[in-house]
Structure 1
């Protein structure tokens, strides 16, 4: 009966955790907020779940192994060349900015709660880290300009593993004794054991993968077992060195030449998502509300120091000599939510440090939770109004994600880029994607609906999707996959020559049908034929003296692509576009001018054109390895 009850409890927690992840996705808010709130509700508030009683002796190993996997997965994303490639401000934020935050927060915690200096420094290290899981949802809601979104996004990605390393190093120093020759000797042994096992372990795993001694279907689970085994061996050799070992292992593999880590990252991200969903509810359920209430006003003062003192000083110092404007610095200073690393590691360390009797250890978990919930909740709710006040928000999500890399897609992408809109072309044809990249267009080479795309496609500020690939199944998958992110009305599909108008079956599944891009009568063949006949991109202003009706009368061979309204927002011509185009609108069209006009078939190009189109279609369908 006990086993059945425990199974029911664990499966219920897993269901709640995945439900919280879905709620975060659906509401476009950081999921960590819902995970922690659910844990607090079913734990200390309602008393439905007591992790210590339910899990017993399994609680500590579960938390330890879970944190080990999370740290390894995070450190596996730290590529040193990426730190250098994202600008001086990002480099400063993840180095000097981290030190400034740790110092200021540590001093504040020391004086407000009479903490042991070592515990205060550990707390400062814990709350210096933001993270992509909490930053990206806020950015998608805020829609800041490019300067702000790029800095905040890449800071969150890079600082996650760097902050984890800082936290683990401080922790290892504390458990070594913290002072004196003996303590330094113990700390040195921990570092030596961790570095040796981590680097040797990385070399062995890299060689096993490189020499294909591990079959493809075993690689992910083999790596998981390997990481947990090294974690346990390191702890056995030198007490509490395992976390640093797996962190070093991850960083080494992330920077190992030609190490194929993408499939490993996909698996580890799925596993981390599962662990986080359960772990955070368990950790929040262990929270003592009495201890949380007892820190009351001082905890709010500390939260204010984190948000209004440490963060602004860190940002202002890191942006010295940059081209950031005053209002952009203010916006970056305001956005700094704390996330996964702080919540996961603080609870584990609080358990482990309890035996050391250091003043302030009991404050670690409640203070970290106050900072996480406070920063995420306050900044999520206020990001939009503050962005409007500082005038750093984009008027709308004007960016366009184009699925496909054929000549028609390239022509449309060039036009959008020339009009000042962000464009990304995503496809798995290397030759065509390379051609687009040489034209100065942002590209993504790979499957646009893969886990890899989720990690690498920066879609902050993007609000439209053009499904233009000649692979119809890929178009459909992308339409479904991005429907929630962009909204049904902002996803468009280009019609091809053999596409039929909506039939009876399509009418029954109208929810999944996207508007026809550029109009129901426009197809790929017509556009490609026009391009082959030297069609040009033409910009026309609709004014009081020149109406849309006159424009249509003056241009016989044209296709209206999109328009830009008075506010600078992008509007797409599609099968649902009406005839009323307001004055003050700019229309961008593909037009064959009278002097270059040739006979352009409505559906079929010339014989020469047909051969060219057939060759292009075959080339696009061929995927380069």
Structure 2
């Protein structure tokens, strides 16, 4: 048994990674593939029985994993990000939550036949959306900033509040069998709010002081934060059952909004943990499904899904956004996106088990009904949200643009060449003369340090997918690479190599490769070399390859030219880098820095510019 449990855990981890990779390749939310994988290895094949493998540890593990996911999400909630949308978010997670839960409860009673108590509990559980489904969907849908921020804030904040509402309803069901139900209900609600709020604020403030005053070595930041999340969650639940989720959410939000707290490395670590936990949780919980029970629910479950999608969510959003700065198109997309996620799955499984033990036989229907709603909302919205956002005109463009660090002559030449080929470019520089010259060339600019706090708030990265460090200041290029690698991805950050006299000097004085970003253009192509060529009159020229004039022919003809970029027939940009070999073929277009004395050839059927 121990050997199988070990193998099962490892297999779930690998399967989760595989599902995430497939989702990345086909550009669909990973939850679709995770749920499918869990159903295949669980109820379909019977290979994995989570209750038998994990035993009594299953729900404690699930609870701790959900705590980490909620903390990671709340750590990104900065109050200055939702200026103007505060009322929208507040309405969505307050009376909007009650509206959604009430309509869902009515649908569950009338369409599925749940008694009023279980229907109310189901309605409470269906109020949550959550970062486990919202954030992956936002990566795929890419709505505009207003919709994305509203959905992200709602998804993270509503999770503990929805869970709190479910706990209150559950306690009411239990206490209604005796006397003093209302008093018990009010006491439970007050206890959870006070314990979760106070403990979350205290833990966030204390951890923030440790980080701000450098009382912890850097290598202990991540492990201390993770241990604190576990301790706060467990401690809050011991003092007031089910208050742990609220405590870790408040803790993360408090920490995120304290001044001068270095949370970027913690965020990177927690984001990786969240991806791992989300993958495992969806597979494990889906493997617990009973397909027979799902089939017995009947068509009423489909009716509940329709009510959730077309009545409950739209009404909630419409009432919550009255008088807000959101336009009608943004409200439509906000009303369409509201998938249910891991909190609903975990809470339904827990309460169904407890109520079944107390004699509520219909409680077994909560889990399959919940998973039908989860699968239905995730599948429907995953397949339709991106086309709907594009149709409404509020989807961000594909991230094909480039942020160029520097507006010097080299950066301006690169920017002009890319913009001429239809690629968005932004040049960022602190030297006004360079910025002014770039603007005279018709290039978009940011005047200031690209890694400043001001840039973090005002530099618009919509549509930007790559960074090119083209500044003569090598340290600024490296700093920008580190600053933007989490936003753009490690493979999308490039910097010019720093030339050195010899190998010994390179090892002593050059920043390590893991911090520099990918080496632009070639190992020996420095800013000094490119600046020298530009000052001598070199130009960036384009050449379209053909079947009779390929890349090798171009290399022989333009031996002194430095290839910078290649554009595929589908207009995808490829960057020449020292760590990647690009082999352009027919119909590709090359952009190369060409010295003025380079021999021109009539053989090339090229459009030179």
- CA–CA separation in structure 2 for the residues paired with 1:334 and 1:233: 37
Query: Following TM superposition, by how much is the alpha carbon of 1:40 offset from its aligned partner in structure 2, in angstroms?
Result: 0.8
Task: Flag the 1:332–1:228 CA change in 2: closer, same or farther, 3 A.
Answer: closer
Q: Which whole-Å deviations, capped at 9, do the CAs of 1:189-229 have from their partners, x for residues lacking one? A: 23222233222222332233233332221221122222222
The aligned counterpart of 2:552 is none
2:164 to 169, 176, 199: 169
Query: Following TM superposition, by how much is the alpha carbon of 1:422 offset from its aligned partner in structure 2, in angstroms?
Result: 5.2
The aligned counterpart of 2:251 is 249
Residue segments in structure 1 that go unaligned for 5+ positions in a row: 141-147, 447-452, 499-513, 538-558, 583-587, 591-598, 603-625
- 1:156 counterpart = 2:151: yes
The aligned counterpart of 1:375 is 377
2:327 to 310, 319, 324: 324
The aligned counterpart of 2:239 is 237
- CA–CA separation in structure 1 for the residues paired with 2:251 and 2:431: 35
2:306 to 284, 301, 304: 304
- CA–CA separation in structure 2 for the residues paired with 1:486 and 1:213: 30
- 1:65 counterpart = 2:64: yes
- CA–CA separation in structure 1 for the residues paired with 2:448 and 2:80: 19
8 Å Cα contact 2:74-2:156 kept in structure 1: yes
Query: Following TM superposition, by how much is the alpha carbon of 1:160 offset from its aligned partner in structure 2, in angstroms?
Result: 2.3
The aligned counterpart of 2:106 is 107
- CA–CA separation in structure 1 for the residues paired with 2:399 and 2:228: 45
- CA–CA separation in structure 1 for the residues paired with 2:65 and 2:530: 53
Q: Which whole-Å deviations, capped at 9, do the CAs of 1:361-418 have from their partners, x for residues lacking one? A: 4343323322222222223334465567x36387973740235335243676699899
Query: Following TM superposition, by how much is the alpha carbon of 1:8 offset from its aligned partner in structure 2, in angstroms?
Result: 1.4
TM-score, length basis structure 2: 0.68
Task: Flag the 1:255–1:351 CA change in 2: closer, same or farther, 3 A.
Answer: farther
Residue segments in structure 2 that go unaligned for 5+ positions in a row: 174-180, 501-517, 541-561, 577-581, 599-609
Q: Which whole-Å deviations, capped at 9, do the CAs of 1:516-553 have from their partners, x for residues lacking one? A: 99xxxx9966975798899999xxxxxxxxxxxxxxxx
Task: Flag the 1:185–1:88 CA change in 2: closer, same or farther, 3 A.
Answer: closer
Query: Following TM superposition, by how much is the alpha carbon of 1:355 offset from its aligned partner in structure 2, in angstroms?
Result: 5.0
The aligned counterpart of 2:393 is 392
- CA–CA separation in structure 1 for the residues paired with 2:86 and 2:189: 34
8 Å Cα contact 1:121-1:170 kept in structure 2: no
TM-score, length basis structure 1: 0.67
SS at match of 1:401: strand
8 Å Cα contact 1:405-1:469 kept in structure 2: yes
2:451 to 442, 445, 456: 445
- 1:30 counterpart = 2:29: yes
- CA–CA separation in structure 1 for the residues paired with 2:45 and 2:189: 43
Task: Flag the 1:441–1:18 CA change in 2: closer, same or farther, 3 A.
Answer: farther
Query: Following TM superposition, by how much is the alpha carbon of 1:307 offset from its aligned partner in structure 2, in angstroms?
Result: 1.9
Q: Which whole-Å deviations, capped at 9, do the CAs of 1:439-478 have from their partners, x for residues lacking one? A: 44799639xxxxxx9xx99977456775746669979x99
Q: Which whole-Å deviations, capped at 9, do the CAs of 1:123-152 have from their partners, x for residues lacking one? A: 232348784433234325xxxxxxx43234
SS at match of 1:125: coil
8 Å Cα contact 1:425-1:443 kept in structure 2: no
1:366 to 365, 368, 386: 368
Task: Flag the 1:340–1:497 CA change in 2: closer, same or farther, 3 A.
Answer: same
Task: Flag the 1:292–1:214 CA change in 2: closer, same or farther, 3 A.
Answer: same
8 Å Cα contact 1:413-1:441 kept in structure 2: no
Task: Flag the 1:439–1:358 CA change in 2: closer, same or farther, 3 A.
Answer: farther
Query: Following TM superposition, by how much is the alpha carbon of 1:286 offset from its aligned partner in structure 2, in angstroms?
Result: 0.7
- CA–CA separation in structure 2 for the residues paired with 1:120 and 1:78: 28
- 1:134 counterpart = 2:136: yes
Q: Which whole-Å deviations, capped at 9, do the CAs of 1:143-173 have from their partners, x for residues lacking one? A: xxxxx43234223321222111222321342
- CA–CA separation in structure 2 for the residues paired with 1:442 and 1:88: 33
The aligned counterpart of 2:284 is 282
Q: How does 1:383-462 map to 2 (within 5 A)?
A: 383=385, 386=388, 390=391, 392=393, 397=398, 399-402=400-403, 404-407=405-408, 408-409=410-411, 423=425, 439-440=445-446, 445=451, 461-462=463-464
The aligned counterpart of 1:10 is 9
The aligned counterpart of 2:551 is none
8 Å Cα contact 1:424-1:444 kept in structure 2: no
Q: Which whole-Å deviations, capped at 9, do the CAs of 1:332-367 have from their partners, x for residues lacking one? A: 544443344444444345445555666864343323
8 Å Cα contact 1:84-1:91 kept in structure 2: no
Task: Flag the 1:418–1:320 CA change in 2: closer, same or farther, 3 A.
Answer: farther
- CA–CA separation in structure 2 for the residues paired with 1:421 and 1:93: 38
Task: Flag the 1:171–1:329 CA change in 2: closer, same or farther, 3 A.
Answer: closer
Number of residue pairs aligned between Structure 1 and Structure 2: 527
SS at match of 1:213: coil
Query: Following TM superposition, by how much is the alpha carbon of 1:119 offset from its aligned partner in structure 2, in angstroms?
Result: 0.2
SS at match of 2:393: coil
Task: Flag the 1:288–1:424 CA change in 2: closer, same or farther, 3 A.
Answer: farther
- 1:228 counterpart = 2:222: no
- CA–CA separation in structure 1 for the residues paired with 2:348 and 2:15: 22
The aligned counterpart of 2:81 is 82
